[in-house]
Amino acid sequence: MRALLPTLLLVSPLALAGNIYKYTDANGVTTYTDQRVEGAQVIVFRDAMVENVDREVYVTKKRHAGGETLIVHNDLYAPVEIRLTVSNARNVLGAPSEPISWVLPPRQQIRLVTLQPTAGGTPSYDYRLEHALGDPRAEQTLTHYPLPWRGGPFRMTQGPGGRYSHTGVKGRYAIDIAMPEGTPIVAARAGQVVKIENNQSGRGTNPSGNFVRLLHDDGTMSVYLHLKRGSVQVREGERINPGQLLALSGNTGNSTGPHLHFVVQKNVGLQTVSIPFEFAQPVDSLPNFAIGGEP
C-alpha cells in the first residue's frame, strides 16, 4: 500500500471519480473494479476523445495593397463550424466588433475579414479562431445502428454515462464492447472517412488510440476507437459503404483491455458532442446487417 499512496496523492478529487483499479489474483485472473483494492494499479480515466485538428483548421494572412486579409482554411474531409474573434485592434479599419461565425465546407477556405491600415501609427491586432467538427445544422436520421463488427457474440462492458470514462461531452453516449484483439471492425453505416490514426502502440500519447472517424450523409459522425496498430484499411477522404472493413479491434490508447469504443457525434454549440443511439440488435448476438442500416 505504501507504493500506492504517492500516486493517489497526486490525483485530484475530480479525477478520482474516474479511477478504476486493476489487480491480478493468485489464480492469474485480472480484474478491473471501481472499488479501491490494496496493491492494485490505479488507472485514471478522462474523456477519451482526443483529436488534434489544429493543423488542419487554421488561419493564414495575406498582405496586399489594401491591407491584410485573414483566410480560414479547412483541410479536413468534413465541414467545420468556425468562429473568428478580432481584438485589440489599433490603427486599422474593418475590425469586426463581434465574432464572425461560419460553417466552412470540407477542403475549402474563406477570406473572412480584411483589415486596412489607418494613417499614422503601426497597425496591430490579435485574433482567435475557435472551431468544431461538423455542421451544427445536421439532423440525425438513423438512431438504430447495426453491430459494427464481424463475429461474436460479445458483451458490453460500459454503456452511456458509464462511471469509468463515458462522462465527458464527447463520449457520454458511447458504448464499449469487449472483444478479442483482431476482431474485424466494419462501418455501421455509409460515410466518408474524416480522420484516422493507425500508428499508436499500447497506451501511446493519444487516449483514443488508433481510430477511424466517419462523416455520415446526415451530417452526424461515428468514431471507432482503440483499434489495432497498423490495421486501419481505409484512407482519409474515402467513401465507405455499410459493412465495409475499417480495421481490426485492439487495445490502444486509454484502454483497460481489448475492446471497441463506438460513439456517434454531432456539432452542438461549437462543440463536437456524443449523441444518443442504440444498436439494432442485442450486443451479445451475432451481427446481422439485415436488421439495421440506413432508413
Per-residue pLDDT of the chain (295 residues), as tens digits, is 222 222 222 222 223 234 444 557 676 655 545 456 677 765 444 444 445 677 899 999 999 988 999 999 999 999 999 999 999 999 999 999 999 999 999 999 999 999 999 988 899 999 999 999 999 999 999 989 999 999 989 988 854 444 444 455 665 788 889 999 999 999 999 999 999 999 988 765 666 789 999 999 999 999 999 999 999 999 999 999 999 999 999 988 777 778 899 999 999 989 888 999 999 999 999 998 888 767 6
Neighbours of 120 (CB within 10 A): 6
Query: Residue 109 corresponds to which cell in the numbers above?
Result: 477556405
Residue with cell 496591430: 124
For the whole model, what pTM was predicted?
0.77
- Helix (H) or strand (E) holding 210, with range, is strand 210-215
Nearest one of 207, 206, 202 to 229, comparing CA atoms:
202
Percent composition of the chain: helix, strand, coil (DSSP 3-state, to 5): 5, 40, 55
For residue 135, give every residue at least 6 positions away whose Cβ sits within 8 Å of its Cβ, in sequence order, or none: 79, 81, 103, 219, 267
